Amino acid sequence: MRKRSLSTDGRQLYLDSSEFRSRKWYQRLFYNLFSTDYDERLFDVVNKSRLSTRALCAHFCDPKLSLWLDAAIYNTINLIIQQKSDYNFFLDVMIASFKKYDHQTAHLMYLVLTNTALDKLNIKKPKRAAANLLRLANVYGAPSYEKHVHFWRSVRSDSVLPSVIAFHNFVRRRQFMKRFLDAQEAIDFMEIYKYLEYNKNDILPVYLD
């Protein structure tokens, strides 16, 4: 019989040991090998932001909602002003949140990163910023946000979280125009989130300060 090569022996040893490893074990292995502190920070912020969005949706009719949304934009802009290097981080939060269907966080980051207050800082922006910001601008359809609200008629999963900012502004504009049926339809969309599992304490302090 032909002797097996060292590479064949090694491969078999690997396969033998693999029989006792779960998929989660490999996920943890690759995560530990390739993740960085930056990745962990990004992962943490994106996931906490998603929980925050879920809780925020459930409080859509809270009288303080306008104040919360304004505070979030103002406070996040101030964070970037204080630490200019964080522009890239918030851009990554926007992109990752959008991919995870957290439209509130993605939209918030878009409004922050395109705010004129940042223009004076002379921040060097990565090349990928322009394309991603333009993409989100097209998705939400400011200033009416009708495009985003109408998109919700086709959503069939509660894993897709809406932009509270877009819905809030849509309702206010429609009420001002006395188009109350349109406004009520948007409110009805948001009412659903009151009946899903959430914790008000998950709303990030950036909204409430």
Q: Which residues of the chain have pLDDT under 70?
A: 1-35, 84-85, 209
User: Bridge partners of 102?
Assistant: 161
Q: What is the pTM of this model?
A: 0.81
Q: What tokens were used for 2?
A: 């032909």
**Is the distance from CB of 57 to CB of 161 less than 8 angstroms?**
yes
Q: Residue 30's pLDDT is what?
A: 57
Longest dimension (CA), the chain: 88
Q: Residue 204's pLDDT is what?
A: 94
Residues 6+ apart with CB under 8 A from 180: 174
Domain 34-208 sits in CATH at 1.10.840.10
Residue among 155, 204, 162 nearest 187 (CA): 162
Q: Where are the domains of the chain?
A: 34-208
- Cis geometry, peptide bond prior to residue 143 (ω within 30 degrees of 0): yes
Q: Residue 207's pLDDT is what?
A: 94
Residue among 67, 72, 156 nearest 111 (CA): 72
Mean pLDDT of the chain, nearest integer: 86
Residue-wise pLDDT for 181-196, tens only, equals 999 999 999 999 999 8
Instruction: Report how far Cα 59 is from the mean position of its chain's Cα atoms.
Output: 18
Q: Residue 118's pLDDT is what?
A: 87
What single DSSP character describes residue 161?
A: B
Count other C-beta atoms under 10 Å from residue 204's C-beta. Answer: 21
**Is the distance from CB of 92 to CB of 197 less than 8 angstroms?**
no
**Is the distance from CB of 63 to CB of 201 less than 8 angstroms?**
no
Residue-wise pLDDT for 75-103, tens only, equals 999 888 887 668 899 999 999 999 999 99
* Percent of the chain topping pLDDT 90: 59
**Is the distance from CB of 105 to CB of 61 less than 8 angstroms?**
no
Q: Residue 84's pLDDT is what?
A: 65
What single DSSP character describes residue 5?
A: P
**Is the distance from CB of 49 to CB of 94 less than 8 angstroms?**
no
